[in-house]
Amino acid sequence: MDDIEKLSRELGEALLAQNLTLAVAESCTGGLAGGALTSISGSSDWFMGGVIAYHNEVKEQLLGVDAAILNTKGAVSEETVLAMAYGAAQLLKTQAALSISGVAGPTGGTPDKPVGMVCFGWHLNGETTACTEHLEGDREAVRLGSVRRALLGMLNMVRGQTP
């Protein structure tokens, strides 16, 4: 997990340098991103907190994800993670937020949304973007890979690059 720690530290430094605060909204990672961020000493200067929105009702009630999005696009969709990232930023009053929703496996995959499909959302100063990736490996590998990708995307966005 050294690379995750390094990404967390670099993200924290980049946020702090721009006087930004961060929130997370996680589904399939179940708090791993928040855990990685809070493992960094001093993270309370830039990390406000997060929501583990594993169930759709939590996505709706806490993060403001529209039920219509969940019903038509599903929990694992770019539309959902866009709303999750925006909702986390609004809820926790941050300028930056990241979100993760995916199929970690080994069960739960479908032909349209196979195991390893993960959607990522990032929000920064009013701009929100998303992408979908297909990660390889077992459940733990997908979850850790998701945290890496989410942190890297947020770091890139804070640096003015494509997530």
pLDDT in tens, 14-55: 999 999 999 999 999 999 999 999 999 999 999 999 999 999
pLDDT at position 153: 99
**pLDDT tens digits, one per residue of 116-142:** 999 999 999 999 999 999 999 999 999
Architecture per CATH, domain 2-158, reads as Alpha-Beta Complex (3.90)
**pLDDT tens digits, one per residue of 53-109:** 999 999 999 999 999 999 999 999 999 999 999 999 999 999 999 999 999 999 999
d(CA 75, CA 4): 25
- The answer to pTM > 0.85 is yes
Q: Residue 2 — very low, low, confident or very high, per pLDDT cuts 50/70/90?
A: confident
CB-based contact 73:132 (threshold 8 Å) = no
